[in-house]
């Protein structure tokens, strides 16, 4: 695959190269630049589910496989120090909005939307599109994945197969499959609340600054985000209580 070089391309390539050297091969391999100066990445075979998620992509076995994939990514990323001149991507208009994942432990993916998860034989097997990767925490990356895949959304905004889903149980299944520590489990919902609020703020700011994000905002994001904030405020306690108890 070839794409135009962006300011963060060299940093992401260095990260992807480290992951591969550390044994995590379920991500694109950076192949340098072509003769036109475009970035080159290896093709990752498999299927990417479309939204809304089809029923076959919503089972607990999918959560388990995704959690284990992310755990392997994190373990491979741990200990890597980004270059001194590292550049990380930001959404248009959001440069001054503080992050919610301070005290970075490692560089994580930070964008586990369905379009970035590659399936093989019906289960998550690889990750693509590391454009939003940056220093973060394990808990933030887990919260990000759960936002999309539990999902941490109002029932009106979930895939049809998950409208009536037991979200606290699904979050606990993910937590157990990842092997979350007690501290990580305690931190999960408070961080998810801050993360979802930031999603709302940055989505609005990006919409004000960029026509593409404005279309997304007007296409449903402006209704989904306040509903997500209200849902996590209302149901976060139930999620926290269930995640704190091991299912396995």
Q: Classify the phi-psi angles of 107: left when phi > 0, otherwise alpha if psi is within -120 to 50, otherwise beta.
A: beta
Kindly report each contact of residues 90-97 with a partner whose C-beta sits within 8 Å and lies 24 or more positions away, as own/partner.
91/202, 91/205, 91/206, 91/210, 91/213, 92/205, 92/206, 92/209, 92/210, 92/213, 93/205, 93/206, 93/208, 93/209, 93/210, 94/202, 94/205, 94/206, 97/198, 97/201, 97/202, 97/205
Q: What is the pLDDT of residues 130-165, one digit of tens each?
A: 999 999 999 999 999 999 999 999 999 999 999 999
When the pLDDT of each residue in the chain is averaged and rounded to a whole number, the result is: 96
**Has residue 113 got a pLDDT over 80?**
yes
What is the C-alpha to C-alpha distance for residues 150 and 162, in angstroms, rounded to an integer?
8
pLDDT tens, position by position, 95-104: 999 999 989 9
Domain ranges of the chain: 2-243
Q: Are 15 and 133 in contact (CB under 8 A)?
A: yes
Distance CA 72, CA 19 (A): 10
CATH number of this structure's domain 2-243? 1.10.510.10
Is pTM beyond 0.85? Reply is yes
């Amino acid at each position: 695959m070839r794409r135009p070089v962006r300011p963060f391309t060299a940093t992401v390539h260095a990260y992807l190269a480290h992951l591969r050297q550390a044994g995590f091969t379920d991500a694109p391999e950076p192949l340098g630049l072509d003769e036109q100066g475009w970035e080159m990445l290896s093709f990752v075979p498999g299927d990417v589910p479309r939204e809304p998620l089809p029923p076959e992509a919503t089972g607990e076995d999918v959560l388990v496989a995704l959690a284990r994939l992310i755990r392997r990514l994190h373990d491979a990323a741990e200990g890597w120090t980004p270059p001194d001149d590292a550049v990380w991507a930001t959404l248009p208009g959001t440069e001054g909005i503080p992050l919610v994942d301070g005290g970075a432990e490692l560089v994580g993916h930070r964008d586990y939307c369905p379009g970035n998860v590659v399936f093989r034989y019906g289960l998550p097997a690889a990750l693509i599109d590391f454009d939003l990767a940056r220093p973060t925490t394990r808990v933030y990356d887990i919260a990000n994945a759960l936002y999309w895949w539990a999902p941490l959304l109002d029932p009106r905004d979930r895939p049809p197969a998950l409208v009536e889903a037991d979200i606290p149980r699904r979050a606990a299944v993910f937590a157990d499959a990842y092997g979350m520590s007690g501290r990580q489990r305690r931190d999960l919902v408070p961080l998810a609340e801050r993360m979802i609020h930031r999603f709302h703020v940055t989505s609005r700011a990006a919409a004000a600054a960029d026509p593409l994000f404005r279309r997304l905002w007007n296409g449903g994001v402006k209704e989904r985000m306040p509903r997500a904030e209200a849902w996590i405020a209302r149901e976060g306690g139930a999620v926290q209580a269930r995640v704190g108890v091991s299912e396995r």
